[in-house]
Structure 1
Amino acid sequence: MAPSIDPLPLTPATPAQPAPTHPDRLRVNRSPKAFASGAYSLIDLPAGAVFAQITNPTPGKKAYTTVQTGPDTHIQLNSDLVYCNHSCAPSVVFDMARMEVRVVDDRPLKAGDALTFFYPSTEWEMDQPFQCTCGAGDGLCRGWISGAGDMPPEALDGYWLNGHIRAMIDHK
């Protein structure tokens, strides 16, 4: 489970930092360190609840800032949702068929929780594979994250996966 943190006040927008896109739902903790920023919930929601709709996406080429929506398609989120990081014990799912972010089905979301999703649930092949440091206990951390295509099917058991990932697994 991702560690909870105390909510911090929102930082006012500056020209280099655009206004928050979901100011009633999430807070972005920006870090000058590469890949160290993150998004945190400002609200409590029950398991399975919709956290946010994905609105105003634009098509994009596979990049670390995109989300895969189909076998050969990616989108730029164009919102603070881009700060949702990976975890092998995620707090939300990115349902690309419904264009929504939902709380995981097995536990509620609490204000202050890190907003994380399991990247292989949307990504067949990561643009920038990485060594996971999520700290998920009980052997849940999957270690090297390079996308669902590089993972044995049993390593994906128990995770919510988008339809395009399930279809690609079946085709593999």
Structure 2
Amino acid sequence: MSPAAIASTAPAPSNVKRTAPKSSTKPVITPSSILPQTPSDIVPAWVKPDLTRLLRVEHVPGDYASRSVSLVDLPAGAVFARISNPTPATCAYSSVQASRDLHIELNCDLVYINHSCQPTLIFDMTHWEIRVSPALEGGLKAGDELTFFYPSTEWDMAQPFDCRCGQNECRGKISGAKDMPDVVLRQYWLNRHIEELLLEKTNSAKGSGDAR
């Protein structure tokens, strides 16, 4: 036993009431202690997701004129909903590209989230989440139209279209990331499979140039 382990004074009698030492550790603040409590029988809207609590679909006459509007306020980067009921699909106007070789149908009102060149949302297909765009100044507000940038998921779209988002940054014809200049795409959040395909495209172009 080392000298430091030997008491220099006699131990206190066993009948003397001892006072517990005061902890120098500050109380731990957990999310549950600072956030409003959700009743245990109510599933948060983004888990299921209960889309009736998250968005409203506005059906408008005309081809592809319907849209969806947010019912909630969320900060930039927050999870809006999780993609929980997809099925594999072929590339179509209603599908979303989830990886290099996988397209899905959403099978819910999330399909009414339209394209915009200045989107309010991102579709993060690595994590199967829809989040508020990190670049959205002030975050998402109730009443905002729900949109995402289609080339952030789509490499080669089945049905190209002329964008009518009306933004100053409007990119015109949208046909997928394959046909869009890198300098434009780098201004947007992109999915991993789009980043990988862009890199392959760039390397292929360099290889073709070197072979000349």
**Structure-2 residue corresponding to 1:126:** 157
Q: Higher helix fraction: Structure 1 or Structure 2?
A: 2
Contact kept? 1:21, 1:80, Cα under 8 Å: no
Measured in 2, the distance between the counterparts of 1:66 and 1:111 equals 26
Runs of 4+ more than 6 Å apart: none
Q: Deviations over 1:7-41 (max 9, x none)?
A: xxxxxxxxxxxxx9500000000123110011110
Contact 1:48 1:105 (C-alpha < 8 Å) held by counterparts? yes
TM-score normalized by the length of structure 1: 0.85
Please give the alpha-carbon distance, in whole angstroms, between the structure 2 residues aligned to 1:153 and 1:84. 25
Task: Give the distance between the partners of 1:26 and 1:132, measured in 2 at CA.
Answer: 23
Equivalent position of 2:126 in the other structure: 97
Q: Which has the larger radius of gyration?
A: 2
Aligned to 2:182: 153
Alpha-carbon distance in 2 for matches of 1:21, 1:60: 23
Could you tell which deviates more after superposition, 83-92 or 64-73?
64-73
Residue number in structure 2 paired with 1:35: 64
Task: In structure 2, list runs of 5 or more residues that go unmatched.
Answer: 1-48, 202-212
Residue in structure 2 matching 1:79, options 100, 108, 133:
108
| Local SS of the residue matching 2:195 | helix
Give the length in aligned residue pairs. 151
Structure with the higher fraction of residues in strand conformation: 1
Measure, in 1, the Cα distance between the counterparts of 2:158 and 2:95. 9
TM-score by length of 2: 0.70
Q: In structure 1, give the amino acid aligned to 2:164.
A: T
Where do 1:106-121 residues align within 5 Å? 106=135, 107=137, 108-121=139-152
Shift of 1:70: 1.1
**Partner of 2:130: helix, strand, or coil?**
strand
Percent of counterpart pairs with the same letter?
Answer: 58
Superposition CA RMSD, Å: 1.2
Output aligned runs, 1:42-61, within 5 Å: 42-61=71-90
Q: Which has the higher contact order (CA 8 A, sep 6+)?
A: 1
